[in-house]
Amino acid sequence: MHIHILGICGTFMGGLAALAREAGHRVTGCDSGVYPPMSDQLRALGIDLIEGYGADQLALNPDMFVVGNVVSRARLADGSPKFPLMEAILDAGAPYTSGPQWLAEHVLAGRHVLAVAGTHGKTTTTSMLAWILECAGLAPGFLVGGVPMNFGISARLGARAAGQERPLFVIEADEYDTAFFDKRSKFVHYRPRTAVLNNLEFDHADIFDDLGQIERQFHHLVRTVPPSGRVVVNGLEESLARVLHAGCWSSVASFGSAVSDFSARGEPHDFEVLRRGEPMAHVQWALTGVHNQLNALAAIAAAEHVGVAPAQAAEALARFENVRRRMELRGTVAGISVYDDFAHHPTALRTTLDGLRRRVGTKARILAVFEPRSNTMKLGTMKSQLPWALEQADLAFCHTAGLDWDAAEALAPMGERARTAADIDMLVAQLAAAARPGDHIVCMSNGSFGGIHAKLLDALQKI
């Protein structure tokens, strides 16, 4: 089959392209501003990339156009379509489908799908679970919204392991909508037999009006889990309790709370795993933060459903190397450490900084640098939570470009601990002037953040 992917450089669609190519399909694709690192990875796989969404691509005549959710029916200021190729596909009556639908039909069918959903920690927990299954010799396929450092790739098909009824596939299950023509959450397409509900908070203010709407989508996911399946749920989350209260037809394994099936005793970097109060395993690893401890419990509970004992899972986690852009140390200059992290929701900012504070102690300074780049943060929906999110930072620096709300006003409760800058160069100059040996600078964004990490390390070398 020849598929042509619209929006191919996105993390999900790029992973889908890699899976399709590995499965033997012919894959081409297009995007606006074809960009690395995904463009480099795809070209290395022999996938032809086209810049832009020109209607002339209709002449490729693929068996199926696979449409990413970046594509819409939007119009430019002059009235012309923003995505002329999509308009041509519709006019011609050419076959098209969404990425999640194509994946469900051509990759996930016949597999035991382990889907990891949640507002936070999806990428990390998906990577943990895939690594646990890999170490257990189960050769899982996976699709992760990042690059797990243990694997070095974001997607692969995997294989059927000896003794397995179905080959395993671990997928990061996103609640964002599927496509402009399918407003259901992506994860309802995946039909998991093991579903992890890691946490649930309000997010995606551009498509959801309130938390209740997201809870409804999570319940749609629960409805698809078969009777022999398992729902792994965070026992600390009232929102998830409401989701399950709406109906659950599968076995449930809870984690996190003292009365959960799986809980932890000890510090996040060194803890016992308890099953209904009885020690089952011991995790000692390089990761920090209570959020990663909870991610580990979720992965252990999910892996148990496919036959991996908690002790075996804990041994694998001792060798887990995390995901790129999750507290990734980018360099150290004059005793000043610079990290890159994907955090963008206020809760994620807080848990990231809390994890670092636990690791470095109370005497070291933490300088938090963040970019409100997600659709939710750009809308200013959660701006009032920022002082709470940044509580563990000694100084906070906000990049304000593209915001329609006053970041300085939102950060005013932090007093002189908060600074703002309209461009990256100004932000780097502020940081270079404020930093001193022993500091830890955490740059947090779900985008490239204008290459701030390299610019900052270069600036620090000059002071």
pLDDT tens across 381-391, in order? 778 889 988 99
Residues 244 and 391 in one domain: no
Q: How far is residue 187's CA from residue 195's CA, in Å, rounded to a whole number? A: 10
* Tokens found for residue 118: 């949640």
Nearest to 456 by CA among 390, 397, 411, 389: 397
Q: How far is residue 213's CA from residue 220's CA, in Å, rounded to a whole number? A: 11
Residues 359 and 310 in one domain: no
Which residues lie across from 30 on neighbouring strands?
Answer: 6, 50
**If you average pLDDT over residues 302-326, what whole number do you get?**
91
> Residue 344 pLDDT > 80, yes or no?
no
Residues 178 and 60 in one domain: no
**If you average pLDDT over residues 211-235, what whole number do you get?**
95
Handedness of CA 61, 64, 67, 71 (dihedral sign): positive
Local structure of 28: helix, strand or coil: strand
> Residue 161 pLDDT > 90, yes or no?
no
Residues 235 and 308 in one domain: yes
241-284 pLDDT tens trace: 999 999 999 999 999 998 999 999 999 999 999 999 999 999 99
In this structure, what are the phi and psi dihedrals at residue 31, rounded to the nearest 5 degrees?
-165, 165
pLDDT for position 462: 75
Which of 63, 98, 133 corresponds to the end of one domain? 98
In a domain, 322, yes or no: no
**If you average pLDDT over residues 432-438, what whole number do you get?**
90
Residues 288 and 345 in one domain: no
pLDDT for position 68: 95
Contacts 24+ apart (CB under 8 A), 54-58: 54/30, 54/84, 54/85, 55/84, 55/85, 55/87, 55/88, 57/4, 57/30, 57/85, 57/88, 58/85, 58/88, 58/89, 58/92, 58/94
Q: What is the Cα gyration radius of the chain?
A: 22
Q: Domain of 55?
A: 2-98
> Residue 407 pLDDT > 90, yes or no?
no
Residues 146 and 9 in one domain: no
Give the count of domains, the chain. Answer: 3
Residues 228 and 82 in one domain: no
Give the angle subtended at the CA of 395 by the CAs of 392 and 399, to the nearest 5°. Answer: 110
Residues 145 and 260 in one domain: yes
Q: Are 227 and 249 in contact (CB under 8 A)?
A: yes
How sure is the predictor about 144, in pLDDT bands with cuts at 50, 70 and 90? Answer: very high
What percent of the chain has pLDDT above 70? Answer: 98
169-200 pLDDT tens trace: 999 999 889 999 999 999 999 999 999 999 88
pLDDT for position 36: 65
90-137 pLDDT tens trace: 999 999 999 999 999 999 999 999 999 998 889 999 999 999 999 999
**If you average pLDDT over residues 431-440, what whole number do you get?**
91
Q: Are 259 and 235 in contact (CB under 8 A)?
A: yes
In a domain, 323, yes or no: no
Q: How far is residue 174's CA from residue 12's CA, in Å, rounded to a whole number? A: 10
Range from 205-219, 303-317, 325-339 that averages highest in pLDDT: 303-317
| Average pLDDT across the chain, whole number | 91
How sure is the predictor about 35, in pLDDT bands with cuts at 50, 70 and 90? Answer: low
> Residue 31 pLDDT > 70, yes or no?
yes
